[in-house]
Amino acid sequence: MERVIVSSKEVSEITVSTPDGLPPAPKLPAPIPWWGRVLCALLVLVLPVLCLATIILRIAFRNQSPRIRYAWTSYLSTLLIVSGMLYFSASVMVITLVPVPAIVSIGLGDLDERTTFPKLPADKQLSAAEVSQLLKPLVVVISPAQRRWFSGIEGPSSSLGAGVLLQASSSGYLFATAKHVANEFNPRTKAHVLVAMASGIWATGEIIAHHATLDLALVWVKRNSGQADFVEPVTSAGMVVEGIPIFVIGHPEGLKYSLSTGIISRLHDSVVQISASVSPGNSGGPVYDDRGNLVGIVSSMVDKSLSPNAENLSFAVQADALLHETGWEFSGNGGQYLHQFIEAESQKEKIAAEKAVPER
């Protein structure tokens, strides 16, 4: 068969004659009245109300003719698209241009406002209740910093660890934690974590040191006000013996400032095995003896899901490593801050030894 080609000009010249005697086709009313269009158009500015109105109208017109249903469906769909685009644009502008309240403070107000710190080591053995009252305020929550989308501000991540105050001086606060808690250390840059006390207000802490072989790290937070000084007594390696009672403070599974008790079960090189139960969130937290001396820093545990027969097999790094400047990799003024702590610790032990000598 040969192809027949009809041009647009030929189509335009075609005329359709209406038989004589037939009336013209009646003009149908608009499927959507003008007032309905205006009312629905006003709802573009309120997207939730427009969504509710769309649902109601779709139900109300379900028995109408296809012409009316299709007209309303098309019109409402257009309004929903326009309203959604307006809401999205407005949200982006608000998040981008409006200042977002900072969730990270410039310092640890809880410590700045303190006028006194507990005198450690204690003159007598401390009960669990006394340990909770005296020593929990020396423990912090540590979390890696995570930058928020759009706003660009930093906030805490989902993982939490613990840290313990080693020294409070006029310039700032020195904390010890586990190296795997403060794992973003870089000696050439100022890596940091977020630090908070019981109030929950976060401050930025600079990671100033990582130990080369042990699961230990040091964090520094600048001080903004206050004058109260504090030095945490650290038990030397020769004074740690098996069987002594110990107390662990941390944040197991996000349960902040939980206290568990036990004994030192075993010593092996620089590792202390303890019977006190620990969980994720205890890492970096302190292990105290019953006088408030720092015995160790919680580092790990045996996971029962991997070893079902394991019961309270927890481990800490001996805190004695905090008294030596060797074995550390420092960033910024980290070496200076650790040296100041060791000097203050030595001076404190010297004064305690002089008081212990009986007068003749």
- Tokens of residue 32, six digits: 């959507």
- Tokens of residue 294, six digits: 């720092």
Fill in the amino acid letter for 336. Answer: Q
Question: pLDDT digit string (tens) for 105-126?
Answer: 778 989 999 999 999 999 999 9
The H helix count followed by the E strand count for the chain is: 7, 16
SS3 147: strand
**If you average pLDDT over residues 165-174, what whole number do you get?**
96
Q: Where are the beta strands (DSSP E) in the chain?
A: 104-105, 139-147, 154-156, 161-168, 172-177, 192-196, 202-211, 217-222, 230-231, 245-250, 258-268, 271-274, 286-289, 294-301, 314-318, 328-330
* Alpha-carbon span 53 to 227, nearest angstrom: 63
Q: What are phi and psi of 74, to 5 degrees?
A: -65, -45
- pLDDT tier, 159 (very low <50, low <70, confident <90, very high otherwise): confident
* Alpha-carbon span 251 to 256, nearest angstrom: 4
Question: pLDDT digit string (tens) for 314-324?
Answer: 999 999 999 99
Query: Which of the two residues, 35 and 341, has the higher pLDDT score?
Result: 341
The answer to whether residues 122 and 291 touch, using CB atoms and an 8 Å cutoff, is yes
Query: Which of the two residues, 201 and 21, has the higher pLDDT score?
Result: 201
* Alpha-carbon span 199 to 108, nearest angstrom: 10
Q: What are phi and psi of 135, to 5 degrees?
A: -100, -25
pLDDT at 4: 67
**CA distances in angstroms from 343 to 318, 348, 352, 356, listed in the order given:** 19, 9, 14, 20
The answer to whether residues 249 and 139 touch, using CB atoms and an 8 Å cutoff, is yes
Neighbours of 9 (CB within 10 A): 7
Asked if pLDDT for residue 64 goes beyond 90, the answer is no
Tell which residue, 223, 238, 230, 216, has the closest CA to residue 322: 216
**If you average pLDDT over residues 179-203, what whole number do you get?**
85
Asked if pLDDT for residue 284 goes beyond 90, the answer is yes
Return all residues near 269 (Cβ < 8 A) that are at least 6 apart. none
* Alpha-carbon span 344 to 353, nearest angstrom: 14
- Mean of per-residue pLDDT scores for the chain: 86
Q: What are phi and psi of 328, to 5 degrees?
A: -105, 150
**If you average pLDDT over residues 146-163, what whole number do you get?**
75
pTM of the model: 0.71
Length of the chain: 360
Asked if pLDDT for residue 254 goes beyond 80, the answer is yes
* Domains of the chain from N-terminus onward: 32-97 (no CATH), 104-356 (2.40.10.120)
- Tokens of residue 150, six digits: 């759009």
Q: Is the peptide bond before 121 cis (omega within 30 degrees of 0)?
A: yes
DSSP 259: E
The answer to whether residues 257 and 249 touch, using CB atoms and an 8 Å cutoff, is yes
**If you average pLDDT over residues 222-236, what whole number do you get?**
93
* Alpha-carbon span 154 to 245, nearest angstrom: 40
SS3 262: strand
Asked if pLDDT for residue 264 goes beyond 90, the answer is yes
pLDDT at 11: 62
Tell which residue, 340, 142, 332, 318, has the closest CA to residue 216: 318
